[in-house]
Chain A
């Protein structure tokens, strides 16, 4: 079983324990004797299993196997539910003989099941069983196909014919065939058309042959190998007689069709590029054998009268993709865009006729000729470019009757040029990018990634600052309390600059004390007196040296305020500055209140 039932993974069957029905796997093939052109049905039955996946069948020797479908049966017998799932496969024999299929061992979820072997005998299509190992018959003896072309080496854009010949004998085919797996790109192959059937002898056998033809062309150079999958429908009689609703054998046997793949050998096509050597400048991609002609509507005109130039390209090749060769005239002519007026070729088919019209209007009577017109194409048979040139064309231009008019209009109505797509191709190359950037695959783990945190931190910081500011704006007492040390520090700084001027120095020290306690206690500065400061200090129980220093400072300040001389040296004043700073610093650490 491991040979061709690849895997049956039954994770979905873990719930079988609830089923009382025994699990069983059986294999059956019906009919077991069949003709080469008939098909048998292989059935794999899984009893007692809820939802088994489709077993995958690989190659079975002697048969083409095709999955048909599954069916589920459920019945209740004596109150017990029995369920089975059947998978059916169609087996089309590829040769005659006796085939023993099995025995096999199937392992499912740790349990092994043994399937009994089945013998299938395939007899020749004429229904005569082989005796004693006589000549065997293969399906490829009755049905095969060949692929060919009129050319195996072509140039790009050169058309070629591709034929498929289907040989068969002793079997009946219906009309439909399917061809798949043709190259999806690089080759442009038209739909196949069926030609008149013939009979051919191959060896000692006579075959009916159906012929199919398509036209193709390669879109690029290279080597292309075509290995299509050709499928046909065999018409066979049912191997088991059908019965009518009343149980009688039907008079006419039912006919059925069996899809089979037909053996076909791969075919290789070598495509050469169109050479660059000798390529004319106005070559527009025409490949094949063409003729080119040009006609003028008249050669004797007055200046300003239109001349219709008719260019006609005919022949075999990729006529559907070529454009009209351009005419090179100077500004003495007014030229309208060419207009396609006739095309007998169709897209994807070789050959035909393409006719363009172009209107020229001579502006001057000095003109004597219309310049020549050239058409270049690549001839794949000769392997070189060819150019056909028509003209120059003699022209007689008389002075215009409307010479005073600057702009001449054609007498014949000229329809406006219709923009018509002449081909389809990819957009040309892009220019280089403005800046070259080397891509990095990292998701961004460098130190610069920490910069991403900065905006969030800034938002948080600004939010906290704003909250504090708003809080202080709503509570002026607290704001003054917080402002007190800063205000005192400013005055202390002033005092440090006035060490050599005792009166100003002690005035600044006093101001520092006043500012501090006025802000700290939310009082006006005028309410702060030395006595009040002394009481506050006593209440706060500050260190004795600082209190003594404060007394001295207040005394000297009062002495100086009333015109006394400076009682100390500069070093003493520096010490007083430090003492006031220490005093205020100590006040910051204790509760201060007016007694």
Chain B
């Protein structure tokens, strides 16, 4: 009887989680390690499935995108690998490994890249998450220092100067966020099909416009049903949307 009571109390305290122990989803660490182990066994499709499972669970972190790209390039899907590396680059700007693999993959297909303005390139050297953190931090710091300067007059000059410096940080971070906003405003996509040919109109029998090497990054300018108009350099043409997945569909403002 005593055992029965203990069991009932334990069930209430734990919310019955021990009854569902068999349904507990694997931790992200274990999924990541399983994917890496499968990659080492050259079982690239299975490794890719593990990393995709992590992404489906919402862990869209640069390391996961990077390893997914490695699995894809090992299976000869260079375009998809470039897409994954590009996503990794957004999360981990300036990461030398990501840059090296992205450069390697692009060279292997002769992929074209989008030429952005210098200030967008500069702003995207820091991840959007870090710009947001800098904005929040500098905003709070500037406000606190300014309030301190108003309340505590003996140190007013020092506190006000600190607030001005924090305000400059706030302006800088807002500029960085503006660069990201501009990048989202002209969404980027990556060609994942081999020898993709664009057309002059969103129709299968429209005249061919120009070819895009696999892995090329393009800017999506317009949409019409399943078709999107993409720009590469000075040229633009229509392709099916499935051939050019968006680099950041989850933050696409359109």
**A residues touching B (Cβ–Cβ < 8 Å)?**
6-7, 56-59, 67, 180-181, 183-186, 219-222, 273, 276, 424-433, 436-441, 452, 455-456, 458-459, 462-463, 465-466
Contact = CB atoms under 8 A, between A and B. Distances in A.
Nearest to A181: B195
Contacts of A222: 75-76
Contact of A455 (B144, B195, B214): B144
A441 B251 contact: yes
B101 A427 contact: yes
Q: For B36, B147, B151, B200, which residue has the most chain A Cβ atoms within 10 angstroms?
A: B147
Contacts of A433: 61-64
A459 B146 contact: yes
A462 B150 contact: yes
A426 B251 contact: no
A465 B139 contact: no
Contacts of B205: 6, 58-59
Interface residues of B, number: 56
A426 B62 CA distance: 16
16 contacts: A58-B205, A59-B205, A183-B194, A185-B76, A185-B214, A426-B105, A428-B70, A429-B66, A436-B28, A439-B60, A440-B58, A452-B136, A455-B147, A456-B143, A459-B143, A465-B151
Nearest to A187: B76
Interface string B26-42: 00110011001001001
A466 B151 contact: yes
B78 A438 contact: no
Interface in B170-209: 194-195, 200-201, 203, 205-207
Given A56-B201, A56-B206, A430-B97, A424 B33 contact: no
A184 B147 contact: no
Interface in B82-138: 97, 100-101, 104-105, 108-110, 136
B227 interface: no
Given A455-B139, A462-B146, A427 B214 contact: no
Contacts of B213: 184
B36 to A, nearest CB: 5
A465 B150 CA distance: 8
A432 B143 contact: no
Nearest to A457: B143
A231 to B, nearest CB: 14
Q: For A67, A180, A183, which residue has the most chain B Cβ atoms within 10 angstroms?
A: A183
B207 A58 contact: yes
A58 B139 CA distance: 59
B102 to A, nearest CB: 10
B57 interface: yes
B207 A6 contact: yes
A186 B147 contact: no
A466 B149 CA distance: 10
Contacts of B201: 6-7, 56
Nearest to A274: B42
Given A426-B70, A437-B61, 19 more contacts: A6-B206, A58-B206, A184-B109, A185-B79, A185-B108, A185-B194, A186-B78, A424-B104, A426-B73, A426-B100, A426-B105, A427-B100, A429-B36, A430-B67, A432-B29, A438-B59, A439-B60, A462-B147, A462-B151
Given A6-B205, A184-B109, A455 B97 contact: no
A181 B211 CA distance: 9
Contacts of B194: 183-185
Q: For B67, B144, B207, which residue has the most chain A Cβ atoms within 10 angstroms?
A: B207
A181 B101 CA distance: 24
Contact of A185 (B66, B100, B109): B109
A432 B33 contact: yes
- What are the 9 tightest A-B residue pairs by CB atom distance, in nearest-first order? A455-B143, A438-B58, A462-B150, A185-B78, A186-B76, A56-B207, A220-B76, A430-B63, A427-B97
Contacts of B207: 6, 56-58, 67
Contacts of A58: 205-207
A424 B110 CA distance: 16
Interface in B1-58: 28-29, 32-33, 36, 39, 42, 57-58
Contacts of A428: 70
A429 B105 CA distance: 15
Nearest to B108: A185
A510 B188 CA distance: 82
Nearest to A438: B58
A281 to B, nearest CB: 15
A433 to B, nearest CB: 5
A56 B250 contact: no
A56 B101 CA distance: 40
B198 to A, nearest CB: 13
